[in-house]
Chains A and B, each alone.
Chain A
Amino acid sequence: TQLLEQSPQFLSIQEGENLTVYCNSSSVFSSLQWYRQEPGEGPVLLVTVVTGGEVKKLKRLTFQFGDARKDSSLHITAAQPGDTGLYLCAGGPMRALNFGKGTSLLVTP
């Protein structure tokens, strides 16, 4: 099993602030995905990165895949209350995805 460590575990910020969450592993992944899960719902895919050094943007969210394909980061600019949720990273063979424990983000008005 390829372990994925996510940090921080919890993050509470005010609306308008910027933040970065991290996903790290000692293993190399062919691809890595980020999901957001809201209370009472299943995870929703945000992005898939497949190339080392790749940067993808989704509105105020910026995702980066490390050059060595062992780590990834998610940066949120000007966070909004609607960004609140559990952010999960997942990597590995697609039929056997390994998930991190997630970063629980709370954005207060």
Chain B
Amino acid sequence: ETGVTQTPRHLVMGMTNKKSLKCEQHLGHNAMYWYKQSAKKPLELMFVYNFKEQTENNSVPSRFSPECPNSSHLFLHLHTLQPEDSALYLCASSQEYRDREAYEQYFGPGTRLTVT
């Protein structure tokens, strides 16, 4: 496997279900991100992990719970979601440097989530 992989690619879940999204990066990067992409809305940053520590949490509802066990893996645990949470969930990774202005983010293909 190369780059950033995400599983599953498609997920349909009921509002009372509990599921998890998985992301794995094979690039040796030290930062990982979760984004939400909804129709007619800009890509929204949800969580950022750097060296396994959460550094950003953009006021995401508690029904979304991230987990980063190591610098290569990132999970998004889902429970009691709402229909408006249906979207494409994208994972990305990057290599952060203290003296660089910009980091190149590499995205996975996303998980298309439908909440019924």
Chain A residues packing against B (C-beta within 8 Å): 4, 30-31, 33, 35, 40-45, 48, 50, 88, 90, 94-102
Tell me, yes or no, whether B84 is within 8 Å of chain A by CB.
no
| Contact count band on B | 20 to 34
List of B residues within 8 angstroms of A96 by Cβ: 45, 48, 56, 58
Pick the residue among A35, A45, A94, A102 that contacts B96 (CB under 8 A).
Answer: A94
Chain B residues packing against A (C-beta within 8 Å): 4, 31, 40-45, 48, 50, 55-56, 58, 90-92, 94, 96, 101-110
List of A residues within 8 angstroms of B42 by Cβ: 4, 98-102
Residue of A with least CB distance to B94: A94
Residue of B with least CB distance to A38: B109
Find out whether the CB atom of B107 lies under 8 angstroms from the CB atom of A48: no
* Extra contacts besides A33-B104, A33-B105, A45-B104 (7): CB < 8 Å: A31-B101, A43-B90, A95-B48, A95-B50, A95-B96, A97-B45, A97-B105
